[in-house]
A and B are shown apart, each in its own frame.
Chain A
Amino acid sequence: MQFSFTEEQVMIAETAKAFFAENATSERTRKAMANDGVDRDLWVSFCTELGLSGVGIDEALGGAGLGMVEFAIIAEAAGAQVAALPLLGLATAARAIAAGGSDAQKADWLPKLISGEAIAACEGVPMLDFDGSTLSGVIDPVPHGTVADVFVFVSPQGAWLVRADAPGVAVHAHTTMDLTRPLARVTLDKAAAEPLANAGAAIAAIHQGGWICLAAEALGGAQACLDRTVAYAKERIQFGRPIGSFQAYKHRLADMMIEIEQARSAVYWAACAADEGADDAAMALHAAKSFCADTYFMCAGNMIQLHGGIGFTWEHDAHLFFKRARSIQTMLGNGNMHREAVATMVLGEAA
């Protein structure tokens, strides 16, 4: 038992942090927001120059090996900058293909997804209609639906690969509150679809990857909200004092840190338990997703309040964090759903 980063993990964290801080700037993110919500140059350099896009995917499949702890480290760093990148698709769709796809499906897609040549998106719905070769149904909303080259769609009936350019696929771009991860409606009308060989494994990989990715992004985002607000608290003067010297102000910052430290424990507990196949891994995923999302929202809300009027403007970055936080709260199951899952583990099903 040693619940701290290894030297290699510290190095990955420093590299990833420096990369996103330098490249995923507010200016570039806002440029992406004005387009389709993806900073493609950044994505390509993340995948090729940094070479961390294959983390968490087996080396035999073209990945970089390592595990969910390392993936969480990267997602945390990306989340700290609210980077406009399709990282969630790597955490969900790519991992679903790696875990549940046939050899041909893996060979077709994984190298392209890891190199950034193709982008993947993933979503689950209660009902899809598969007739043996084509899939029909409406999937709404799909994160990064408009930029994806390939989709992994899942329902209780199975898991399928659908090419975005296949006949019968219609993608409608929503105007999305969080412009850094836009949502779309995908309508399938007898669109060619390949079932993933092992749907159960694919769905488990999506849950594990998706929840850890969102929780880690939330952790990074929450910490950034705190860091930026602390900096402001020290420089902004009112009543002849830095506003951070007032207890009404500094206690809210302390409350943010108290939640963030628990969120950090949650992310790395979940990632580590997933990597080790620990007994409590399932609970850890629900705990991490729900706790970190709520922490992020609390911190982003406080960031606006503690910045006063400037925090309410479009020009200030507070709203990027706030909207990403809100979106993470709902995406892949809201907090009530995850807490109920934990309650079921300790209480059994409700009568």
Chain B
Amino acid sequence: MKLGFSKGEEDFRAECASWLNAQMAGEFADIKGVNTLTAKAERRKEWEQQLAAHKWSCIGWPEEWGGRNASLAEQVIFAEEYARAGVPGRVNHIGIELAGPTILAFGTEEQKQRFLPGIAAGQTIFCQGFSEPNAGSDLASVRTKARLEGDKWVVNGQKIWTSLAHISDWIFVVSRSEEGSKGPKGLTFLMMPLDQPGIDVRGIKQINGDAEFNETFFTDATCPADSLIGAVGGGWQIAMGLLAFERGVSTLGQQMGFRNELDEIIAAAKANGSANDPLIRQRIGKAEIGLRLMRYGALRMLSNTDHSKIDGAALTYKIQWATWRRNLGELAMDVLGQMGEVTDNPEYEWGMLPNLFLFSRSDTIYGGTNQIQRNMIAERALGLPREPRGDV
């Protein structure tokens, strides 16, 4: 058991920090500190390409596909330095963290050639078409239909909560390809171009006034017959394999974003005197401890190289960070007091902390609600009997 980094790794850290800080002080100074997911989308696409031009876009990928084959420690370091430098979140997070690794793991050679270079280069932005109005927590009940007609798939139906679909190029869609099938059987995983007449993307205005999420409608939308990953009817396995990538190294970068938020709260508490309130001090102490434990939990999870069994500890991570961050939003508002509930921005756009308070209500819902997380932990990690399935 060892927590320290080697000299070589510390040198790598310095290299990352130096390059990222130079970018944020120079050519890309205008996007430094942007904290909503939709702001300055075009500039952030250019930023994706800048990362790629310097081989920083997907360092954990194999070198032949544009990565650096970086070690776990190096990926951890890059993710931490990325957030520390105040660089905004990746608009192609889904391409780099989910679509790419899924294609690498399950795609054909031809599909790798077709998609990976574009993703690595920051030219192909992906979004995720999983949830539907009637398939949220119960993802396996998706109804969006796909049928094979000659040399193409024809897709009809609706997806919802498709983050960043309005600025994306491609969407991966879990669709029902077997007429009359139920649950996880009969599903197919398709990669579809968004820019076509059969696909209509409409923004959903959220609690914080932003519109990161969308509804995406498919009306005789098409994609070539060889656009499926895995087998016809084997889409559920691919979707589940993809979700496993979600708990990767990017969690550490996400945590550095949380670090910035907690630092902002600490600064606000010092500035307005609430740092002298013993109850606020307890809560800030607790938040600090929670954040540190998240980091060491992630390092523990990533250091575990035995992937032969379900890692129960890893299943606890989503609910842990989501709940911590929602509490952080409430702490922020208690520190700010009433001034947290006003802004002089006429557009209903909020600063970091009020936005954290509002946005974090979604953290305990998307990607599996806290209640679904508890079911998963209880059933998969603790081996308790499964929830019976209804028939309505």
Contact = CB atoms under 8 A, between A and B. Distances in A.
A351 B277 CA distance: 9
A266 B319 CA distance: 18
B259 to A, nearest CB: 11
Given A3-B299, A4-B304, A350-B275, A254 B382 contact: yes
8 contacts: A1-B303, A3-B1, A247-B371, A250-B379, A254-B316, A262-B290, A345-B288, A346-B284
A153 interface: no
Contacts of B3: 1, 3, 269, 272-273, 276, 278
B285 A339 contact: yes
A98 to B, nearest CB: 22
Contacts of B385: 234, 241-242, 244-245
Contacts of A253: 378, 382, 384
Nearest to B273: A351
Given A233-B384, A340-B281, A278 B288 contact: no
B304 A343 contact: no
A48 interface: no
Contacts of A244: 378, 384-385
Interface of B: 1-5, 9, 72-73, 76, 266, 269-270, 273, 275-276, 278, 281-282, 284-286, 288-290, 292-294, 296-297, 299-300, 302-305, 312-313, 316, 319-320, 371, 373-375, 377-379, 381-388
B285 to A, nearest CB: 4
Contact of A343 (B288, B377, B382): B288
A276 B4 CA distance: 8
A269 B269 contact: no
A332 B3 CA distance: 26
Given A2-B2, A258-B319, A250 B282 contact: no
Contact of A348 (B4, B275, B293): B275
A287 interface: yes
A21 interface: no
A269 B292 CA distance: 9
Given A3-B300, A262-B293, A262-B297, A250 B384 contact: yes
A234 B384 contact: yes
A322 interface: no
Contacts of A247: 371, 374-375, 387
Contact of B1 (A4, A241, A250, A251): A4
B40 to A, nearest CB: 31
Contacts of A9: 1
A268 B297 CA distance: 10
A230 interface: yes
A265 B2 contact: no
Given A233-B384, A272-B2, A250 B378 contact: yes
Top 4 closest A-B pairs, CB basis?
A339-B285, A250-B378, A343-B285, A245-B385
B140 to A, nearest CB: 19
Nearest to A263: B293
Contacts of B4: 1, 276, 278
Contacts of B299: 1, 3
Interface string A313-351: 000000000000000000000001011111101111011
A6 interface: yes
Interface string A237-250: 00001101101001
A257 interface: yes
A283 interface: yes
Given A268-B296, A276-B3, A284-B292, A254 B374 contact: yes
Given A3-B3, A265-B296, A347 B270 contact: yes
A117 interface: no
Nearest to A268: B1
Contacts of A284: 292
B319 to A, nearest CB: 6
Given A262-B293, A262-B297, A350-B281, 17 more contacts: A2-B303, A5-B1, A242-B385, A244-B378, A250-B384, A254-B377, A254-B382, A257-B382, A258-B316, A262-B320, A265-B293, A280-B292, A287-B292, A342-B289, A343-B284, A346-B285, A347-B284
